[in-house]
Chain A
Amino acid sequence: GESVGLHLPTLSVQEGDNSIINCAYSNSASDYFIWYKQESGKGPQFIIDIRSNMDKRQGQRVTVLLNKTVKHLSLQIAATQPGDSAVYFCAENVYSSASKIIFGSGTRLSIRP
């Protein structure tokens, strides 16, 4: 089929190192942000979310940082493992009037052994 859009940027990381995936969001009114992980052949899976009243949130091996001043979101993965190989999408929404999530273009994370 005809492909639409851009190929995703790739981040290559050594196994065991920390990964940082960055995302710039577009809507100043967005107050809810989500990171999704999509493995090959599967649908995107929820990883972690953060609301705009926070600037940092931690999960298991993952941390999301939010900088509202420059509309920037990042996902940090500690001690990257082969199972972390996937495409990572950031997403934004306006919580009070949640209608459609706006997805970022995505970043492909590959792990070097």
Chain B
Amino acid sequence: EADIYQTPRYLVIGTGKKITLECSQTMGHDKMYWYQQDPGMELHLIHYSYGVNSTEKGDLSSESTVSRIRTEHFPLTLESARPSHTSQYLCASMSRTGAYTFGSGTRLTVV
């Protein structure tokens, strides 16, 4: 049973729209992460957070932004979606052992 939840599972949206991808975890983990992954490709870290009010940019430059107002919630926002944003977005949280638990992902298509 998943302890980290991402919504929506799939999203098709028009160019220029603002979107927010939701990620919530019930494990009380402080550290949370967003990865971008194209089909059949590597995982690329785009944002992470070490706790409430902490956000950092990852290794891959992204036009998205994140916020961390509550421990359990780590949403990702695109102010103006473009076709180049089409990808899968994966959210994860880190346990005390140092392993990630991933959500099921949001597959975003911008048309």
- Name A's B-contacting residues (CB within 8 A): 1-8, 32, 34, 36, 41-46, 49, 87, 89, 91, 93-95, 98-101, 103, 105-106, 108
Could you say which residues of chain B place their CB within 8 Å of the CB of A89?
Answer: 43
19 A-B pairs with CB atoms under 8 Å apart are A1-B38, A1-B86, A1-B87, A1-B110, A2-B84, A4-B42, A4-B60, A5-B41, A6-B42, A32-B97, A43-B90, A46-B99, A46-B100, A46-B101, A93-B99, A95-B97, A98-B97, A101-B99, A103-B42
B90 x A44 contact (CB < 8 A) = yes
Query: B8 at the A/B interface (Cβ < 8 Å)?
Result: no
By the criterion CB–CB under 8 Å, are B98 and A93 in contact? yes
Measured CB to CB, the closest approach of chain A to B18, in angstroms, equals 18
Number of interface residues, chain B, beta carbon within 8 A: 34
Interface string of B79-90 (1 = CB under 8 A from A): 000011111001
Q: Which residue of chain A is the closest to B58 with respect to CB atoms?
A: A100
B98 touches A32 (CB 8 A): yes
**Chain B residues, CB < 8 A from A98:** 31, 94, 96-98
CB of B28 to closest CB in A, whole Å: 15
List the B side residues contacting A101 at CB < 8 Å. 94, 98-100
Q: Judging by beta carbons under 8 Å apart, are A87 and B102 in contact?
A: no
Distance, CA A46 to CA B95, complexed state (A): 12
- Given contacts A2-B84, A43-B90, are A95 and B98 in contact (CB under 8 A)? yes
Q: How far is the CA of A21 from the CA of B57 in the complex (A)?
A: 31
Query: Which residues of chain B have C-beta atoms less than 8 A from A41's C-beta?
Result: 105, 107
* Least Cβ–Cβ distance between A90 and chain B, in angstroms: 12
Known contacts: A1-B84, A100-B33. The answer to whether A45 contacts B102 by CB under 8 A is yes
Q: Which residues of A contact B98 (CB under 8 A)?
A: 32, 34, 93-95, 98, 101
Give which listed residue, B33, B36, B40, B86, contacts A108 with CB less than 8 A: B40
